């Protein structure tokens, strides 16, 4: 299910100079803001939770997921180079699964690690806030990578749709509109973070069992359907 050659090509595409700069911009901004907040306000648990929840988890993680998930396959479909990949003796589900693993790894590195660093800067991991939001970022990275990989497979405007989802649904509706929170990856990952933190500094509107089931189902279904769409794309190209 994992092809090293496909993985190497995907890493090369995702971590090219221009895309790497884009991927690194938001994590750097988060850390700079964390340093400034710590310098101005000192160590405060509530401030740390608000910043990590509002900027890191609600904004940075989904945007990085968009870049990594859609970038893992979208450009190859847009420029037609995916035909050369599909002509190789590699199963289509293997291609999708390999690209998903790469997208997850890139999203985790560029989101979870900066979240942890920012949390340590903000309050030294008081009340396990840094660790809790880092775990949430790791969990969210898996679901976002699968969702946006699927989006990159089915649409030529995946980045636009992905950014709309990340900025409007997750960052706005997922944080502010009560009814939308149940269908938010952010809230699902916050349920995991709440369990890790164990206090009242991290909260979620979704119960942990429900969040776990939804995260698993969305990830599996998105990956499966992306494989189906890639298979149909192959058939269309052969016809």
pLDDT at 17 over 80: no
Per-residue pLDDT tens over the stretch 121-141:
999 998 999 999 999 999 999
pLDDT at 88 over 60: yes
**pLDDT of res. 235:** 45
Q: What is the pTM for the complete model shown?
A: 0.91
**pLDDT of res. 199:** 77
Q: Is the dihedral of CA 49, 68, 106, 23 positive or negative?
A: negative
Arithmetic mean of pLDDT, 192-204: 89
Assess if residue 166 is contained within a domain: yes
pLDDT at 3 over 70: yes
Assess if residue 39 is contained within a domain: yes
Assess if residue 194 is contained within a domain: yes
Assess if residue 98 is contained within a domain: yes
Assess if residue 238 is contained within a domain: no
Q: Which two tokens stand for residue 212?
A: 């776990």
Helix (H, G, I), strand (E, B) or coil at 91: coil
Assess if residue 237 is contained within a domain: no
Query: Quick one: DSSP state of residue 128?
Result: G
In the chain, what is the straight-line distance between the N-terminal and C-terminal CA atoms, in Å? 26
* Residue pair 128/40 in contact by the 8 Å Cβ criterion: no
Query: Which domain does 33 fall in, by range?
Result: 4-232
Q: HSE (CB half, 13 Å, CA atoms) of 183?
A: 6
- State the Cα–Cα distance between residues 113 and 135, nearest whole angstrom: 10
**pLDDT of res. 83:** 77
**pLDDT of res. 174:** 61
Q: Which two tokens stand for residue 235?
A: 């058939």
Assess if residue 239 is contained within a domain: no
Assess if residue 149 is contained within a domain: yes
Closest by CA position to 138, among listed 110, 158, 157: 110
- Chain centroid to Cα 53, Å, comes to 14
Q: Where are the strands (E) in the chain, listed by range?
A: none
DSSP string, 141-201: HHHHHHHHHHHHHH-TTHHHHHHHIIIIIIIIIHHH-GGGGGG-HHHHHHHHHHHHH-SSS
- State the Cα–Cα distance between residues 2 and 95, nearest whole angstrom: 8
Q: How many domains does the chain have?
A: 1
Per-residue pLDDT tens over the stretch 133-185:
999 999 999 999 999 999 999 888 888 999 888 888 877 776 666 666 788 89
């Amino acid at each position: 299910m994992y092809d090293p050659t496909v993985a190497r090509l995907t890493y090369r595409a995702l971590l090219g100079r221009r895309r790497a700069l884009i991927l690194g911009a938001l994590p750097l901004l988060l850390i700079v803001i964390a340093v400034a907040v710590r310098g101005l306000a000192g160590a405060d648990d509530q401030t740390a939770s608000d910043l990590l929840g509002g900027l890191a988890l609600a904004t940075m993680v989904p945007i990085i997921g968009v870049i990594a998930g859609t970038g893992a396959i979208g450009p190859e479909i847009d420029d037609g180079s995916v035909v050369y990949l599909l002509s190789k003796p590699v199963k289509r589900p293997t291609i999708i699964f390999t690209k998903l693993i790469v997208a997850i790894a890139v999203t985790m590195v560029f989101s979870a690690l900066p979240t942890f660093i920012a949390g340590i800067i903000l309050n030294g991991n008081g009340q396990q806030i840094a660790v809790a939001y880092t775990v949430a970022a790791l969990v969210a990275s898996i679901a976002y990578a699968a969702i946006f990989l699927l989006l990159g497979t089915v649409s030529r405007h995946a980045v636009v749709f992905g950014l709309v989802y990340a900025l409007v649904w997750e960052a706005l509706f997922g944080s502010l509109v009560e009814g939308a929170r149940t269908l938010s990856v952010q809230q699902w990952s916050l349920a995991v973070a709440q369990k890790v933190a164990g206090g009242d500094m991290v909260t979620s509107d979704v119960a942990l069992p429900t969040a776990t089931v939804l995260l698993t189902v969305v990830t599996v279904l998105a990956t499966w359907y992306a494989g189906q769409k890639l298979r149909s794309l192959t058939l269309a190209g052969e016809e």
